Structure 1
């Protein structure tokens, strides 16, 4: 029998208690009160400050049950059926990973109390699959506790939601029957060291996660020019570089870096997962004033940041993650959501470099970036003319021209404005360009922090900031970027995930996550033991960063203009040294989704504004392992 509750109870109603006194709630979203749940953040579930999932979905219940009963959790997953691919859980008390093994329905290793029963996507559980917690196992039935099925009260005195029919064969196989005729049970997950009958996991070859440095064969290359000087962005790039070069080092023009297809796939997965984690953390910060205060943002602009998050969450165009890629795994340093650089290098220049050097046996790691960027603009809310704002800087010049080309390919008109030249108020308070066209949509290379510096200088701490206009009064950058009727890309909320203060918040919400580095607002013994990096919460291009080893000796430090900013402390996890270069892998998104990669390299340990961008390519795993 299935015992599916027939009566649907309102969202958030207590349905029953699973073993360990863990409550389960109704997830009938159609009945959710807009008073009790006024915005997205209201649906996020936390226990002890650790993110469990969305109220009151099946994954949230499974993760919360495991944490409350055992003190460990499984990693964040996109869909419930993805849990079947996990192979470990995180024990938060001991900072260790424990094995989590998968057993197919019909396995000779039977489920036990606390096993997770997993459904495949399809039928009743279309797109998502399902997960439930096993509360009791018998030869002819199995009992489960769950959320997001039935939304009805559990039977009085029962610590489970449903009972499913089971059968043990003469060979000792344990089979569970799904109560829905169109759904399929994959099997169960059990935290155990016993791998007999468990699903095998491909043995990862750590060599596939390394980075190789190679040189292109130049013997048949006769031409020196390979960028199209008729294209304004490429011409600007050539002018800045002093020739058709990707790197500033003359003797390194033929050097490139190579990754395996497995490594590229891992970068794509990590990028998409991390974007979700950073979005979770951003919402958490905006709901906790004591955390938001650590971001050192003017109080006058906080309401605008919250409004931006509520109204423009899905209007991100560009962002970049910075990774250390090592055989031990990927670790992210930070997320550049606010005016991320190197898009042209990754999305155009390195690809043309590969064509010039006839590298037909490998693929450009940024080959899809321009196309994905165009699609992001096509799906954006931008209508009419987009004004591209940039500073008087050679790098920003070609970056702006590259973005203009993407806008044009997306069918969107644009104009480039240098340092607000030609912009002024009209008599109605509308900002117009020199041709009299209103400024309604803006994409900028300027950092939001530049506008905030103006606010800090001109507003009292508790004064509400509103851009002022009057004839004859000079127009400020903050007047443009914070104007109510002007939509700016990237949105104002990107100040939060781009601020280094987000890193300790992430570590609190997702402790010991394999992609994250231990981070804290205060230097602690755990960070001292690993070595640590001191970072300003706001900074650009690797400025004012100090690296300390396990003995607290200063290893390396950079200068810059952010020395007065508040600091955070992050675990010291050095970049891999490939040849003479410390090598950082950067991944780029279009609308928050992975779109391509490149590498930044330096003989110093910290990547800075002056660090070189070199070509990144990839090949199939077999070819990568054969490459010397």
Structure 2
């Protein structure tokens, strides 16, 4: 069966229930690592939804035991010797039986697969049934996706020359049984209150260390892309200085905290966005022209999947992550920088398990493939677009995903043809991708269509070349990074979010108030307004919403050695795909002045 014919159950989809109380979830892809922690009764069971997490959660719920932290499933065969009961700390030894053992496998034992090209981390499953000719196993994240809708399967059991062999398409080390298994009971209401505190103490955000490579370990590096603009072959590059040898180190707990918090906050973003989109009063307060309302609501229904890239920015407040207002690079530039940092780190002679952005490019390509776009995507750029290098990078990602892409200068490469918009080749524009500063667009629209303010609908100008509003409000055109994101990316969004969830530990209070209160600092530094590319415009004092009164609570920097760092979580369609670190960003500054560093885990 080819990849195209296989069915992929969505991430988090329930596949079944084992042993009456252990749910198996889909990881969607066998090589995806969410780095989001799974917790049961406060006990960490692993990354959602890896096979090791399922085995540990099954052991906890069915046997009241857990096993120590283990890097991969394959490592369990050599490095795991016991499990321990969470109610009293007693250890129960594991007995290993190599594949080809005279002892027949039994129920409630672990089946361990070795690492291979097909399964670089190995695999673990739980044997739940044994017959003469087969065993039945229950598992999570098995690489044959045709089984993604069934959490259990049969595996042949062969008795040959007095030995038992479990045969599967991957190599099997053997099976591991728990000695004195009959003494173990499931975890339920009668004993859950006996769990020892040492097993469920929450892990704090910690372990972030700045490092410098001891010598020059990589040469000056540049990554080149090419594009054709106005019939000229233009080369764009992003360069790294070989002397810039800074990197960060952290443990996987750090990644788990960032991923879990980011994914949770994204779900809150979606809730608040839905509330705002359907509230005329708030849309009016945010000064979004009413001509956009219908199109925003339509995009919320029809273009939810077209939310591709986002980022969240956090500050460390002692040991907690605090979500802050977007103040640094646009998301695309951060993604591009992170991928290039990943390339440069690979040239360093430094030992590490993985980096904080190791799967970023791969997941970007995969998500573009998942969108299954058949029409040409027109990438719209301005002649002086400062994101040009990053836009070209995203073009290469789309092409790698099998998508036909055209880059068009917005000013002169799109035309009206009757009532449709076409490119210079005469191809009808059906899907566009452009990273927009929505508030600036709304202001431009208000000025350009001043005569239509009192109308309830938008009408195009029908000049020779369509303007951006003609494209964004055109019902014949679908938008990637859609119009509804104008709500989530609005300057005032976090203030609304903080009002909806006032006591959330990871959300900084953000208010529409004058900044005289010593607890708050202005979000807008008007002396650097021009440096911020005129993203934020002055408003008439009579307006309901006044950016000059946007303030954010000052985060305490006491006893926090990393308070000068901004931690940027990189999101692909609402799932944390990696993170980077920016040092001492100015409150508002030119995006190109920021430097993103990857973190080695």
TM-score by structure 1 length?
0.58
Partner of 1:439: 429
CA distance in 2, matches of 1:259, 1:315: 32
Within a 5 Å distance, the mapping from 1:465-484 to structure 2 comes to: 465-468=457-460, 470=462, 473-484=464-475
Partner of 2:280: 289
**SS of equivalent residue, structure 1 residue 356:** coil
CA distance in 2, matches of 1:564, 1:614: 30
> Residue 553 of structure 2: which of 571, 574, 581 is its match?
571
Partner of 1:421: 412
Over 3 Å counting, the alpha-carbon distance change for 1:237 and 1:614 in structure 2 is farther
Count of equivalent residues: 420
CA distance in 2, matches of 1:293, 1:263: 40
Over 3 Å counting, the alpha-carbon distance change for 1:433 and 1:592 in structure 2 is same
Partner of 2:517: 528
CA contact (8 A) 1:316 1:491 kept: yes
Over 3 Å counting, the alpha-carbon distance change for 1:430 and 1:394 in structure 2 is closer
Q: How big is the shift at 1:239?
A: 5.5
CA contact (8 A) 1:386 1:414 kept: yes
Partner of 2:479: 488
Q: Mark the runs of 5 or more structure 1 residues left unpaired by the alignment.
A: 1-78, 88-102, 109-126, 128-176, 178-183, 537-541, 547-556, 620-628
Partner of 1:319: 310
TM-superposition CA deviations, 1:49-102 (whole Å, max 9, x none):
xxxxxxxxxxxxxxxxxxxxxxxxxxxxxx9x9683399xxxxxxxxxxxxxxx
CA contact (8 A) 2:439 2:535 kept: no
Over 3 Å counting, the alpha-carbon distance change for 1:425 and 1:512 in structure 2 is same
CA contact (8 A) 1:209 1:326 kept: no
CA distance in 1, matches of 2:234, 2:344: 13
CA distance in 1, matches of 2:319, 2:41: 23
Over 3 Å counting, the alpha-carbon distance change for 1:559 and 1:430 in structure 2 is closer
> Residue 536 of structure 2: which of 547, 554, 562 is its match?
562
CA distance in 2, matches of 1:336, 1:286: 24
CA distance in 2, matches of 1:434, 1:265: 48
**SS of equivalent residue, structure 1 residue 599:** strand
Q: How big is the shift at 1:535?
A: 2.4
**SS of equivalent residue, structure 1 residue 304:** helix
**SS of equivalent residue, structure 2 residue 250:** strand
CA distance in 1, matches of 2:213, 2:484: 42
CA distance in 2, matches of 1:289, 1:295: 10
Partner of 1:148: none
Partner of 1:61: none
Within a 5 Å distance, the mapping from 1:207-356 to structure 2 comes to: 209-219=206-216, 221=218, 223-224=219-220, 226-229=221-224, 244-245=239-240, 253-334=244-325, 340-356=331-347
Q: How big is the shift at 1:442?
A: 0.7
1:592 paired to 2:574 = yes
Q: How big is the shift at 1:231?
A: 6.5
The more displaced of 277-286 and 417-426 is: 417-426
CA contact (8 A) 2:445 2:469 kept: yes
Within a 5 Å distance, the mapping from 1:446-465 to structure 2 comes to: 446-457=436-447, 458-459=449-450, 460-465=452-457
CA contact (8 A) 2:247 2:600 kept: no
CA distance in 2, matches of 1:188, 1:231: 66
CA contact (8 A) 2:325 2:494 kept: yes
> Residue 187 of structure 1: which of 172, 186, 189 is its match?
189
Partner of 1:122: none
**SS of equivalent residue, structure 1 residue 324:** strand
CA distance in 2, matches of 1:198, 1:580: 32
CA distance in 2, matches of 1:85, 1:359: 35
TM-superposition CA deviations, 1:379-414 (whole Å, max 9, x none):
226321001112234641111111111111111110
Q: Mark the runs of 5 or more structure 2 residues left unpaired by the alignment.
A: 1-35, 45-59, 65-85, 88-138, 140-184, 540-545
Over 3 Å counting, the alpha-carbon distance change for 1:559 and 1:411 in structure 2 is closer
Over 3 Å counting, the alpha-carbon distance change for 1:237 and 1:256 in structure 2 is farther
Partner of 2:368: 377
How large is the Cα RMSD of the aligned pairs?
4.3
**SS of equivalent residue, structure 1 residue 382:** coil
> Residue 42 of structure 2: which of 85, 104, 107 is its match?
85
CA distance in 2, matches of 1:576, 1:363: 31
Partner of 1:132: none
The more displaced of 258-267 and 460-469 is: 460-469
CA distance in 1, matches of 2:558, 2:390: 28
Q: How big is the shift at 1:607?
A: 5.8
The more displaced of 456-465 and 439-448 is: 456-465
TM-superposition CA deviations, 1:221-276 (whole Å, max 9, x none):
5x43x33446769xx999566xx316xxx9x6112233322111111111111110
Partner of 1:397: 388
TM-score by structure 2 length?
0.60
CA distance in 2, matches of 1:237, 1:322: 33
Within a 5 Å distance, the mapping from 1:99-178 to structure 2 comes to: none
Q: How big is the shift at 1:198?
A: 5.9
**SS of equivalent residue, structure 2 residue 391:** helix
Partner of 1:9: none
